[in-house]
Amino acid sequence: MDQSKEQRILNSVSYNAIKGDAESVLDCIDKYCSQKEWAMNVGDEKGLILDKIVKEADPTVALELGTYCGYSAVRIARLLKPSAHLFSIEFNAEFVPIAKEIIEIAGLEDKVTILEGHAQDIIPQLKTKYNVDTLDFVFLDHWKDRYAPDTILLEQYGLLRKGSILLADNIGFPGAPDFLKHVRNNEHYECTHYPSHLEYMKAPDAMEKAVYLG
Ligand SMILES: Oc1cc(-c2ccc(F)cc2)cc2cncnc12
Ligand SMILES: [Mg+2]
């Protein structure tokens, strides 16, 4: 059976990246996806915004919704302090082993736990099954119509604390209007908009930071 695009991305990383070197894994994926096959990684341009917010948050416990090939998991985990951990939720069973392998090539397997399933099923288990207290940083990069309901779930399950930082990808395109409606003009959030471009393209996109105020 023909290989998938995601398997071809893994092949490229496995062949070209330096084992244990997260930067080289990111560079390899960005090179492959800008020159060979477009893929929905957050990419190098929006990746710099992600880096900035992760450094600002300096999270002990981070959550990512939408692992895909593990590009943003590597991007986030490479910045985490020794005691910190990233949980990443992915529902597509084909992507999970590929992401695991890419994260391992980056040498970050001890910093990242990939949880396979739908966010709406896993978020309610984070405290009980995964011993999470509250989340310091959340990167939303999964189905755009799930940003708002999953954010509400995070609130309802007491997973956000005063100062928890949410960062959402694709606010410009494909867009997440319900999420913006929920966090903007909401006394419980302080929002900041970051205009950028769609990964590997000239088309406009944007990210939104929403700090939970308690
Ligand atoms: O960053 C992203 C981009 C796109 C996307 C799709 C089609 C298109 F034409 C342009 C952009 C889809 C995504 C789905 N999940 C997470 N991130 C995504
Ligand atoms: Mg995205």
In this prediction the ipTM stands at 0.99
pLDDT of residue 59: 99
Ligand 2 centre from 156 Cα, in Å? 25
**Using CA atoms, how far apart are residues 68 and 195, in angstroms rounded to an integer?**
23
d(CA 56, CA 7) in angstroms, rounded, equals 33
Tokens coding 154 = 């995070």
Q: Using the mean position of ligand 2's atoms as its centre, give its distance from the Cα of residue 41 in Å.
A: 6
Please work out whether the CB of residue 198 comes within 6 Å of at least one atom of ligand 1. yes
pLDDT at 185: 87
* Greatest Cα pair distance in the chain: 52
Q: What is residue 127's predicted lDDT score, i.e. its pLDDT? A: 98
- Average pLDDT for runs of 10 along the chain of length 214: 97 98 99 98 98 99 99 99 98 98 99 98 98 99 98 98 98 97 97 98 98 98
Instruction: Read off the tokens for 137.
Output: 């940083």
**Protein residue whose Cα sits closest to atom 4 of ligand 1:** 40
Q: Does residue 20 sit in helix, strand or coil? A: coil
pLDDT at residue number 23: 99
